[in-house]
Structure 1
Amino acid sequence: MLSRLFSPPAVALLWLLHFLPLRILAFLGRGLGRLLYYLARRRRMIATVNLAWCFPELNEAQRIQLAKANFEALGRSILDRGIIWWGSRERILRLIKVDGEEKLHALLAAKRPIILLVPHFFGLDAGAMAMSMRFDVVTIYAPQRNAVFERVFYKGRRRFGNQLMLTRQDGARATVKAMKSGRPFYYLPDLNYRRRDSIFVPFFGIQTATISGLSRLSKAAGAAVVPCVTRMLPGGQGYRVEIGDPWADFPTDDVVADTTRMNAWIE
């Protein structure tokens, strides 16, 4: 859905809007999200069905309220990308605060490969920018069909430092090599990618197709798995990246148990 929004006029408008104060941009973003809630019928249906499955204890009005809040966060994340892609270093440092950065420095000093386990939340681009301003990282991304979005997205992700962006076609070996060379891996686990690479494990109590890549990559690289969550703060307060303690007992010899743990943590 995002790639369809980024036509040349939309990108120009996004560039102009990024000069606004964050609290005004947040207000406009929430308004955009409310509009998308009514226009994006298919996405709205997917959100409401998922909420009904995952939160059966809520009534319909409560689930609709959650869905609307979700779309408002989406709208805000779209407009905030203007600051992430074109804002000055100083403004981005004010926008995105990081807690726990010292844990990554300690692992890198010990020459330990790192996997940053990053859920697919709306703050993921803010978190990626915060990490790329502090470390040379490796990440896997999906090339976009929209040429305008692809160009802006790719350039924006590589604004600072020496960032390595691989595609799935590069294979796991390239990712492992990059981690072993000292690049933290900004890893976004897909819940459902390709059936041959997926296993079914509980997610909100529902058997869900999930890739087991985290366990396999961690074992192949000897990497520490470090939880990393970016939270969107209210109003004009920006974002906060929280880096957790490394998972000491991961991976195990049980890929299903490892992947179940990943899903439980994302929940």
Structure 2
Amino acid sequence: MLTRLFSLLAVALLWLLHFLPLRLLAPLGETLGLALHRFGRKRRRVAKINIDLCFPELSTVDREHLVKTHFRLLGRSMLERGILWWGSRARIERLVRVVGAERIDAERAAGRPVILLAPHFLGLDAGGVAVTMRFDIVSIYSTQTNAVFNRVLLGGRSRFGDQLLLSREDGVRATVKAMKAGRPFYYLPDLNPRRRDAVFVPFFGISTATITGLPRLARAAGASVLPCVTRMLPGAQGYELTIGEAWTDFPGDDPVADAARMNAWIEAEIRNMPSQYYWVHRRFKTRPPGELRPY
């Protein structure tokens, strides 16, 4: 009962804050992020371990600065999600600039299903809402343990158009069917999988558990893969979603090589904006046999 009450109060506060202009909401979010950095010991530790592993060339001071900057942006992304969930279409169109949407149209006009490859950057939800304002898509969600947040999250992701949100239990077949019916698939590839579902390929020079879902889905649906990255812009400038050119020669003959190619691309994008990757996730939790977990 207390958990539900706390959740409802948090959602109510988020709803109230979404009326603030971004020039006020953004610094409030950064302040929240600094509080999370100060008091969120477990997540701070995860982010520190991840950044230490991925950026050993940086000095200790620079890595600590990167962790703190990440938490500032994490706090921003949390509060600004209220705009995505309850803000008007016109406000979200001003908030999120979209570059390359015509590439989705071109692939669909050619009769090719589309996979939008969207790694876990902090602007992920802003990019997702911007896509749903333009297309009816299919995506997969993880059911949240908190029923209040689960309901709000699902509502926010499906408020525009006719969106198809599948649970992980719905399986590959339903996703492929939706893509073949013309729905772009907003695909989030880079979460830590179980060992039995993973291959180990390099990511920042680390042998990292990675699923081969992208090449398998692309092959099953005959789909084009379009990279899809959302950048948080400074201050009150909002977000920029960039949809890139379709990958050529993908999938190849080797799904392990395809997974390595995907990781290499994600790594390159992270290096372009290192503070905006979702570092509080335990990306390196699953290890090859005999290796200790870093967390």
> Which letter does structure 2 place at the counterpart of 1:170?
D
- Secondary structure of 1:7's counterpart equals helix
Q: In the TM superposition, what is the alpha-carbon distance from 1:193 to its structure 2 partner?
A: 1.6
**1:52-201 pair list within 5 angstroms:** 52-201=52-201
- The runs of 5 or more residues in structure 1 that have no matched partner are none
Kindly indicate whether residue 67 of structure 2 is the aligned counterpart of residue 39 of structure 1: no
Q: Give yes or no for the alignment of 1:235 onto 2:223.
A: no
Query: Are 1:207 and 2:210 an aligned pair?
Result: no
Moved over 2 A (4+): none
CA distance in 1, matches of 2:147, 2:17: 21
Residue 51 of structure 1: how far off its partner (Å): 1.0
Name the CA distance, whole Å, in 2 between partners of 1:70 and 1:149.
23
How far is the alpha carbon of 1:59 from its aligned partner? 1.4
TM-score normalised by the chain length of structure 2: 0.88
- Checking the alignment, whether the CA contact within 8 Å between 1:18 and 1:80 is kept in structure 2 is yes
Determine helix, strand or coil for the equivalent of 1:237. Answer: coil
Asked if structure 2 preserves the Cα contact closer than 8 Å seen for 1:179 and 1:185, the reply is yes
Aligned partners of 1:74, 1:191: CA distance in 2, in Å? Answer: 17
Determine the structure 1 residue equivalent to 2:30.
30
Q: What residue number does 1:9 align with?
A: 9
Structure 1 counterpart of 2:247? 247
Paired letter, 2:242:
E
CA distance in 1, matches of 2:179, 2:67: 37
The alignment-based identity, stated in percent, is: 66
* SS of structure 2 residue aligned to 1:56: coil
Indicate the residue corresponding to 1:20 in structure 2: 20
Q: Which amino acid aligns with 1:194?
A: R
* SS, match of residue 258 in structure 1: helix
Q: Supply the distance in 2 between the matched residues of 1:30 and 1:100 (Cα, whole angstroms).
A: 29
Q: Distance in 2 between matches of 1:210 and 1:41?
A: 27
C-alpha distance in 1 between matches for 2:231 and 2:15? 23
TM-score relative to the length of structure 1: 0.97
The 5-angstrom pairing of residues 254-265 of structure 1 reads: 254-265=254-265
Measured after TM superposition, the shift of residue 196 of structure 1 is: 1.3
Count how many residue pairs are aligned between Structure 1 and Structure 2: 264
Q: How much does 1:94 deviate? A: 0.4
Deviation at 1:29, TM superposition (A): 0.4
Distance 1:187 1:198 in 2: 17
Shift of 1:23: 1.2
| AA at the equivalent of 1:7 | S
Determine if contact 1:191/1:208 at 8 Å carries over to the other structure: no
CA displacement, residues 143-165 of structure 1 (integer Å, 9 cap, x when unaligned): 10001100100011110000000
Q: Classify the secondary structure of the residue corresponding to 1:134.
A: coil
